[in-house]
Chain A
Amino acid sequence: MLLSLEDATVRFGGRAVLDAVGLDVAEHEVVCVLGPSGSGKSTLLRAVSGLQPLDAGRVLLDDRDQAGVPAHKRGVGLMFQDHQLFPQRDVAGNVAFGLRMHGASRSEQQERVRELLDLVGLPGAERRAVGALSGGEQQRVALARALAPRPRLLMLDEPLGQLDRSLRERLVVELRELFGRLGTTVLAVTHDQGEAFALADRVVVMRDGRIAQSGTPLEVWQRPADEFVARFLGFENVVEGTVAGEAADTPWGKVPVPEDAPQGTRGLLVRPAGVRLVPADEGLRCTVAARTFKATHVAVHLQPEDAPRLEAACALREAPEVGDLVGVEFDAAEIVVLG
C-alpha cells in the first residue's frame, strides 16, 4: 500500500476528531473522503501530511512509519482549500517553489513550470501576479504547484469548494482525466457528493471522526451502509421497520423488500423513484404538501396520515398539484434495507 492509516487518532481537548481511523490507498488510486463539516476530513489530510501529529495510531507511506518525519520530508503534496498561493510571488514563482526546495536547477525549474502550466491549461502565465488570477485560475496554479515536485501522494482539501457550479463541473472532469493520464495517487476530501462521485475510484464517507462506509461510488450510492450515510447522500425517505421475509412493517404500512434482505428491525430507505403514485383509493393515502422542480423531474412531498413525509420523483407531466389526494405504492427494486 502506498498509504496506510492504522487506528489514527487525533484529539482536540477531550474530543476525538479522528477516532481510530483505518484507511488504505493503493498506488494510482483516487480516493475521495466525503463527509459533513466537522467530520474530521481536513484533519485526516493534515495528519497524513505531517502538519498534525497523531495522538495514537500510525501513518505509513510505502510501509514506512512516518512518526517523527516532518512535513517537508514526507514527499506528499497538499492542495489547500483556499489555495494559499504565496502572494508575493508570481505564478512561476509559486509553481517552482517545491522544485527549488528540492534543489532543482534553474533550467529544470523553467522546463517543469512550462510543462505544468500547459498541463493545467494556463500556458504562458508564468509572469502573472497571483492576486490578478480568477478563482478558477488560482485553483489551476495551486494544482500545478502541488504537482510540480512529483509527490508520491497528492492530497486535495475541498479542491473545488470555492468555485461556482458550472466551473466546478467542468474542472472535475478535467481533474479526473488528468489524474488518469498521470497515474497520480490522490486522496481528496470534500463535502460535495457530486464532486466525490465524479472524481473518485473509491469513496470513503466519514462521520464524527470515524469511517461510516467505504466503496466505489456506485456501491455507496446504491447501498448506503446506514441511516446517516443515506441522509447525507440526500435521501429523505428513511424509517425504521421490521423486516420479515420479503416485506417490512413500517409507519407507511407493509413495504416490499428485495429477496436477500437481512431480517429483523432495521432502517429502511425508499428511493424517491420507488414511490409510485396511484389513484387515491389504492395504496397509502397521502396529501400533496409541496412540489419542487428539479429539472429532470419533480420532487413531490407527500404527507400520509399519522406517518412521516415521503418524497416521490415524478415525471414533469404526471406530477399532481399541491393539495391533491393521491395513493402510494412501493417498488421493491428501489428499496434498501440498511445495515
Chain B
Amino acid sequence: MDVTRTEVATRPSGARARRGNAARLGLLAVPVAFFALFFAWPVAAIVARGLRVDGVWRLGRIADVVTQSDIRHVLWFTTWQALASTALTLLVALPGAYVFARLDFPGRQVLRAVVTVPFVLPTVVVGTAFLALVGRGGLLDEVWGVRLDTTVWAILLAHVFFNYAVVVRTVGGLWAQLDPRQEEAARMLGASPLRAWRRVTLPALAPAVAAAALMVFLFTFTSFGVVQILGGPTFSTLEVEIYRQTSEIFDLSTAAVLTIVQFVAVGAILAVHAWTVRRRESALRLVDASVTARRPRGAGQWALLAGVLATVAVLLLLPLAVLVQRSLDAPDFRYYRALTGDAGDTFLVPPIDAIGNSLQYALAATAIAVVIGALAAAALARRDAGRLVRGFDALLMLPLGVSAVTVGFGFLIALDKPPLDLRQSWILVPLAQALVGVPFVVRTMLPVLRAVDARLREAAAVLGASPWRVWREVDLPLVRRALLVAAGFAFAVSLGEFGATVFIARPDNPTLPVAVARLLGRPGDLNYGQAMALSTILMVVCAVALLVLERLRTDRTGEF
C-alpha cells in the first residue's frame, strides 16, 4: 500500500480541518444542549442540594454523611458485593466466552443470542425471576426447603445472570477474531498448547478481560432493581440507599451527598475503563470471526462444552422458566386476568394500563434517543475529531455509568421549578429514559460510521455529490441497519428502565417495571402472581425485541 495514502486519509490541512470542525460543532449543538439541560443541570442541582446549607457551601457534609455507621455499612456492602459479583461472573462466564468464540456446535448462533437476553431484561424482571427461584415459596424452597433470598447469594447469582453476556460478548468477541495462526506459530517454535495460550492468547485477551471486569463491576456497583427486590431490609447498595433516603426518609440532602459520592466513584471507574479500552485498541492481528471456530475435539473440550451448556441452562434459562411457570400457577390465567381489574389500593388504575404507558413512554424515549444519539455519533465518527469532541464522547457515556438513580433523583429536584417545571408533564419520563438510552445509540452507531471508508465518500464527491448528498447516498444506506438496531436497543432499555422512572413516574401512570415493584411490595398471593405475570409480559417483549435485533445485527454493528 502506498505510504502517502494513509497519511492523506488522516490529515487534512488547516483550512479544511477548521471547516470540518465548524460542521461538527453544528452537529453537536443539539446533543450538547440536551446533556447540559437534562444531565449537567440536574447533577449541579444535586451538588447544590447536598453541599449548600443555609446558603453556605459546606464540603464537610460529605465527611459527616459517610462516617455515619449505617452509611459506612452501605458503602462497604456496595463495594464488596460488586467485587464478589465481578469475580464470580468472570469465573462462570470466561469458559463460556471461550466456548462461544472457538467451538462450533449445532445451535451455537441461537444460544449466543439467548445468553444475551438477560442483559437487556429489566432489572425488576431479573429480581422477580430470582425471587421465584430462590425466594420464599420459590422452586428451591418447595423442592429442598432452601431459601437464598435472605442471603447475599441471591443478589450475587442475579448479578452473574445479568452480566454473563457482558463477558461473553466483550471477551468472546475478541477471542473469536484472534488469528489462530498466532498460536500455531508459537506451537511451531516449540511451545506446548498451554504455554502457547498463556504467552500468546492470554496477553492479547487481557485488556478485554479487564474491560469486561470493569464494566461488570460498574453495573453491579450501581445495582438498583435487583437489590431493591432481593436485598430485603438487610442488604442495601448506595443506589438503594439514595432511593430510601428520598422516598422513605425524605432526607433529600443526605441523598444528594450519597449521589455525589457515587458520582465520584463511578467517574473513577469510567476513567480506568476508558484507559483499558484504549489499550485494547492496540494492534492485534484480527481475522473474520466465522473462520476461527472448530468442532470440539478431545474429552477436555467436550467436557467444557457440556459444562457451559449446563451453566447456561441452570443459571440463565431456569430462572426465566420458573418465572413463567409461577405466573401461570393459578387456574384459568387468573393472575393475567386480574391485571385488567381494579387492584384496590395498590394502584389508581388497573395494572394492565402500565403496558400502554410503558409502550408510549418507550416510543417517545426511543425517538429522542435516536435523534440525539445519531447526531452525536455523526459528529464523533470523523477520525480527525479533536480532543474536545473526544471528551464529549466520554461525557455521553456518563449517564449510563452514573446510574439511573442519579438521573431520576436529579430530574426530581432540578426540573420541578421554573424556568423548567416539567413535574406535571408526561415528557419527563421519556426524557429520563432517553438519557439512559443515548449511550447505547452512540455505541451502536459509532463503529459502523467509523467503518465507512472515507474514500467511498470521496468517490461520491468526485462523481459530483455535494456533502449533504454524500451523506444521504453513501453513509445513510450503510448505517440504516445500525440505526434500526440502535433504535431497538433504546426501546428495550427504555421499556425496562426502572431506576430513574421510579423517582418520577406519576402514581396514576406507572410503567411496567414500576408496577411490578409495587405489586411485589404488597402482601398476598394475588399481588405476587400478578407481579410474575407482568414480569413475564415484559420479559417476552424485551426478549422478542432482542432476538429480532440479533437477526438484523451484522458483526460490525456496535459494541453491545
Contacts and interface: CB of A to CB of B under 8 A. Distances in A.
Interface string A32-58: 000001111111001001111101000
Interface stretch (A94-102, A175-183, A230-238, A266-274): A94-102
Contacts of B460: 72, 86, 97, 101
B16 A49 contact: no
A12 B7 contact: yes
A98 B2 contact: no
Nearest to B3: A38
Contact of B456 (A37, A86, A101, A102): A86
Contacts of A73: 464
B455 A84 contact: yes
Interface string B458-481: 111111111101100110011000
Instruction: Report, as a range, how many residues of chain B touch the other chain.
Output: 20 to 34
Given A80-B459, A97-B463, A149-B463, A11 B13 contact: yes
Contacts of B3: 37-38
A17 B462 CA distance: 22
A326 interface: no
Given A52-B8, A81-B2, A70 B461 contact: yes
B15 A53 contact: yes
A101 B464 CA distance: 6
Nearest to B455: A84
B52 interface: no
Interface string A65-87: 00000111111111011101011
Contacts of A88: 477-478
A81 B5 contact: yes
A4 B23 CA distance: 32
A78 B464 contact: no
B11 interface: yes
B4 interface: yes
Contact of B2 (A10, A37, A53, A84): A37
Contacts of B474: 86
Contacts of B15: 53
A80 B458 CA distance: 9
A145 interface: yes
Nearest to A98: B463
Contacts of A87: 478
Contacts of A84: 453, 455-456, 458-459
A101 B469 contact: yes
A85 B420 CA distance: 50
A71 B461 contact: yes
The 4 residue pairs across chains A and B that have the minimum distance between CB atoms: A101-B464, A98-B463, A71-B461, A38-B3
Given A17-B4, A38-B2, 5 more contacts: A53-B12, A76-B462, A84-B459, A86-B456, A191-B2
17 contacts: A11-B13, A12-B8, A13-B11, A37-B1, A38-B4, A39-B4, A40-B4, A50-B461, A70-B466, A70-B467, A71-B461, A71-B462, A76-B462, A77-B463, A81-B2, A84-B456, A86-B456
